[in-house]
Copies of this chain bind each other. A is one copy, B any other.
């Protein structure tokens, strides 16, 4: 049985994530921590983020360059994202029908252990206005 220990590093990482509702990369988070005086190691940041993500405490997304982004997840229920491809503004959205559809399709083809990736990209109202 694995049990999590409370360390100052994890506390500060959790705290920093709680302070924002935007997606951040492990690298960015690490840089921010070092800048503010902490001596946390990069590996520790990665390990903490992974742990929190698999524990369901963080939302995980990948940006266009393949970098992994994390954000504290406000909604306990499963949901997806609508991301502005210009400024990164993100809305959490529910996809009621999608889950059911995914299950039906998987069953039809005999696939099990299903997971799905559903993300919407667009340009938010603000950015669209500036573009005009």
Contact = CB atoms under 8 A, between A and B. Distances in A.
A107 B60 CA distance: 24
Q: How many monomers of this chain does the complex have?
A: 2
B93 A110 contact: no
B125 A111 contact: yes
A128 interface: yes
B115 A118 contact: no
B117 A121 contact: yes
A40 to B, nearest CB: 24
Contacts of A124: 109-111
Interface string A97-132: 110011001100111111111111111110010000
9 contacts: A82-B111, A91-B111, A97-B101, A98-B101, A105-B120, A111-B125, A112-B123, A112-B128, A115-B120
